[in-house]
Amino acid sequence: MKARLLTLLRSSALGRGLIEFAAERLAGLRRSGFVHGRFPRYRAWHDTVHARGACSPTNGPLISVLIPAFNPDSAHFRAMIASLQAQTYSHFEALICDDGSSAREAFAYIAEAADPRIRLIERGANGGISAATNTALEQASGEFTAFLDQDDSLAPDALAAIATAFAREPDAILVYTDEDKLDRRGRPCEPYFKPVFDRALLYRRNYINHLTAIRTGALRALGGLDGRYDGAQDYDLVLRVLERHGPQAFAHMPRVAYHWRTGRWARSLSQTRAGQVAAARKAALEAHLTRLGQSAEIFAGAELDVRWPVPAQTRVSVIIPTRDRLDLIERCVREARASAEGVVCEWILVDNDSVEQDTIAWFEREARRADTRVVRAPGGFNFSHLVNTGAAQARGELLLILNNDVYGGNPGWILAMAGEALRPWAGPVGAQLLYPDGRLQHGGIALGLGGVAGHVMKGAKPGEAGPFGHLALTRTVSAVTGACLMVRRAVFDAVGGFDAEAFPIALNDVDFCLRTAKAGYETVWTPHARLYHREGASRGRETAEDARFAAEIAHFRARWEGALKADPYLNPNLDPSAELLGLDWQIADRCKTRSAAFLFL
């Protein structure tokens, strides 16, 4: 049948065109591995490359696996038990707590398994997922505790991965792994390759689960799970770990250790009561922020949308280095002013030897405005020096660095960036920048991407959410571009501003972000600030052949050699050689833990 169809297609020009188009598309899939929100070759990758990198320990500290159960589906429950028995790590106990089920047929598989490591605990009355989990916790003897849903499954080396992570990260309190989903036939699909601890992303979704394991002593000290947040009880727990132990308490193991059953064939609370779960997630985050002395407007849906308050008189100093090109700078300033509602802006135009009369006349008019200053900065072009010169004249609590070839902007984009930048943990904040045709120009910068540092998913189509939906979510990144960067003045001064000596033109923004991260601040990218960027319009593009550019790359490699080995926010299962992310088909050691980003620097 397939041969006949190919013959028919080849017999016409249209058919040959379709074959050629399909071949090109397939070649694109093979190159990138990511298309239309999915990794279509994931199953092949999972069964080959990922399978060869399994974690190896077979014994070690006891791990208690807590499994709350209520009216479980028999087939899924049996598969869950089978995945426990298939563990390569043998030293575990599985505590299944029946939370007052009326349909009990599935529990017969526990006796059928005849495995003394797998035990059933009866609660009697139904108390909810937190109560059932806490009942199991009361009988847990393990040094570490892991959580498993009744209809999900573990990869064969899941518990080995947990044991390995805690052994390699002795200070870690909580370990989490990558995960995927099971389709209706039980086949792996839709992987979630996660970053290291990412507060900004965590405040939008509970990306930590699944698989999650925590030191049992720490779990008991926190009081176990809180039933007030049933449906988001795991999210609440993660937030309380963050409060008590900080970002350094989290360690990430980039192994797909957990298979999450999803769709209409799943019965977990998060699947069947989406509205209840969203409300619980919102309540958990609100309580967490209250305990931190923070407040925010939170909208609950499939993800959480967090909008931070900005005090009415917050002053933003907008610093725009420029030289001539009135067509660029005039539009940049005019359209940025139109988006400055909710904050008080001062405009600092750093003139680097403009000579065109229309530009000079425009500067003179601007200088007569009460909210604008024109700062002269003669000499050869040195972007870092121009930024520092503008910052020295700034009076604002926040500094907003803008290229003169940035324009447009959604309403309220300055306010959105200010809300993020004012958080006490925040360092630089970057925006979503688009090419004039709407394709993505800047979605955050990853170290090592394309060589030294690259823009994540550069060139993505308009509206593309990217792998795991991350392009639609505020998240932490290693760096953001200086074409549109906001930072608190105190943070800017604390690290000495931009490095005008080592990085006069290129990589100064990445170096600045890494120095703030080393000082303990988190670099944030937000899609709620969206502008257009004519990249290179004012000066042209940099090339690796340029001697000055090569020197800056050499300086960068020497200063950040350790950080360039692996970007903490770019999962090692993804190919670091291209900005359009795909699966990494190279066989490598993926049983290797990763911790908070500042520990890499």
Per residue in 62-93, pLDDT (tens digit) is: 999 999 999 999 999 999 999 999 999 999 99
Based on the fold, state whether residues 184 and 330 are members of the same structural domain. Answer: no
Based on the fold, state whether residues 98 and 8 are members of the same structural domain. Answer: no
Task: Decide if 425 contacts 416 (C-beta within 8 A).
Answer: no
Per residue in 499-539, pLDDT (tens digit) is: 999 999 999 999 999 999 999 999 999 999 999 999 865 55
What confidence score (pLDDT) does residue 52 get? 86
What confidence score (pLDDT) does residue 74 get? 96
Residue 592 lies in a domain: no
Based on the fold, state whether residues 460 and 324 are members of the same structural domain. Answer: yes
The two structure tokens encoding residue 537: 């319009």
Is residue 255 over pLDDT 50?
yes
Based on the fold, state whether residues 27 and 56 are members of the same structural domain. Answer: no
Based on the fold, state whether residues 64 and 19 are members of the same structural domain. Answer: no
Please count the other Cβ atoms lying within 10 Å of the Cβ belonging to residue 373. Answer: 18
| pLDDT band at 7; cut points 50, 70, 90 | low
What confidence score (pLDDT) does residue 265 get? 45
Q: What is the 3-state secondary structure (H, E, C) of 240-290?
A: HHHHHHCHHHEEEEEEEEEEEECCCCCCCHHHHCHHHHHHHHHHHHHHHHH
Domain boundary among the residues 233, 268, 303 is at 268
What confidence score (pLDDT) does residue 51 get? 86
Average pLDDT over residues 174-194: 94
Per residue in 347-391, pLDDT (tens digit) is: 999 999 999 999 999 999 999 999 999 999 999 999 999 999 999
Based on the fold, state whether residues 28 and 58 are members of the same structural domain. Answer: no
Based on the fold, state whether residues 86 and 170 are members of the same structural domain. Answer: yes
CA 405 from centroid of its chain's CA atoms: 28
Question: Which residues contact residue 157 at a Cβ distance below 8 angstroms, ignoring those fewer than 6 apart?
Answer: 54, 55, 56, 87, 88, 89, 255, 257, 591
What confidence score (pLDDT) does residue 600 get? 75
Is residue 420 over pLDDT 90?
yes
Based on the fold, state whether residues 128 and 247 are members of the same structural domain. Answer: yes
Higher-pLDDT residue of 261 and 334 is 334
Task: Report the chain's mean pLDDT, rounded to a whole number.
Answer: 91
Is residue 272 over pLDDT 90?
no
Containing structural domain, residue 17: 2-32
Domain boundary among the residues 268, 283, 299 is at 268
Is residue 576 over pLDDT 90?
no
At 211, which amino acid appears?
Answer: L
For residue 226, report the phi and psi dihedrals to the nearest 5 degrees. -105, 115
Residue 259 lies in a domain: yes
Judged by average pLDDT, the poorest of 52-61, 163-172, 531-540 is 531-540
- pTM for the whole thing? 0.92
Residue 296 lies in a domain: no
Based on the fold, state whether residues 434 and 463 are members of the same structural domain. Answer: yes
For residue 132, report the phi and psi dihedrals to the nearest 5 degrees. -65, -40
Is residue 569 over pLDDT 60?
yes
Nearest to 88 by CA among 589, 591, 595: 591
Per residue in 125-149, pLDDT (tens digit) is: 999 999 999 999 999 999 999 999 9
Per residue in 19-53, pLDDT (tens digit) is: 443 443 343 333 345 554 578 899 999 999 888 88
Average pLDDT over residues 302-323: 96
Nearest to 307 by CA among 209, 213, 417, 397: 417
Helices (DSSP H) in 470-576: which residue ranges? 489-494, 508-518, 547-559
Cα–Cα distance measured from residue 416 to residue 421, given in angstroms and rounded to the nearest whole number = 9
For residue 228, report the phi and psi dihedrals to the nearest 5 degrees. -65, -20
| pLDDT band at 216; cut points 50, 70, 90 | very high
What confidence score (pLDDT) does residue 270 get? 53
Is residue 590 over pLDDT 90?
no
For residue 437, report the phi and psi dihedrals to the nearest 5 degrees. -85, 5
Higher-pLDDT residue of 265 and 524 is 524
Based on the fold, state whether residues 448 and 530 are members of the same structural domain. Answer: yes
Residue 324 lies in a domain: yes
Based on the fold, state whether residues 126 and 245 are members of the same structural domain. Answer: yes
| pLDDT band at 579; cut points 50, 70, 90 | confident
Count of domains in the chain?
A: 3
| Cis before 211 (ω within 30) | yes
Is residue 268 over pLDDT 70?
no
Residue 600 lies in a domain: no
Task: Decide if 582 contacts 34 (C-beta within 8 A).
Answer: yes
Based on the fold, state whether residues 417 and 535 are members of the same structural domain. Answer: yes
What confidence score (pLDDT) does residue 267 get? 54
Cα–Cα distance measured from residue 577 to residue 572, given in angstroms and rounded to the nearest whole number = 11
What confidence score (pLDDT) does residue 184 get? 87
Residue 454 lies in a domain: yes
Cα–Cα distance measured from residue 141 to residue 116, given in angstroms and rounded to the nearest whole number = 14
Helices (DSSP H) in 400-447: which residue ranges? 413-421
Cα–Cα distance measured from residue 406 to residue 333, given in angstroms and rounded to the nearest whole number = 9
Average pLDDT over residues 249-258: 97
Bridge-based pairing of strands 398-402 and 475-476 is unpaired
Bridge-based pairing of strands 440-442 and 453-455 is unpaired
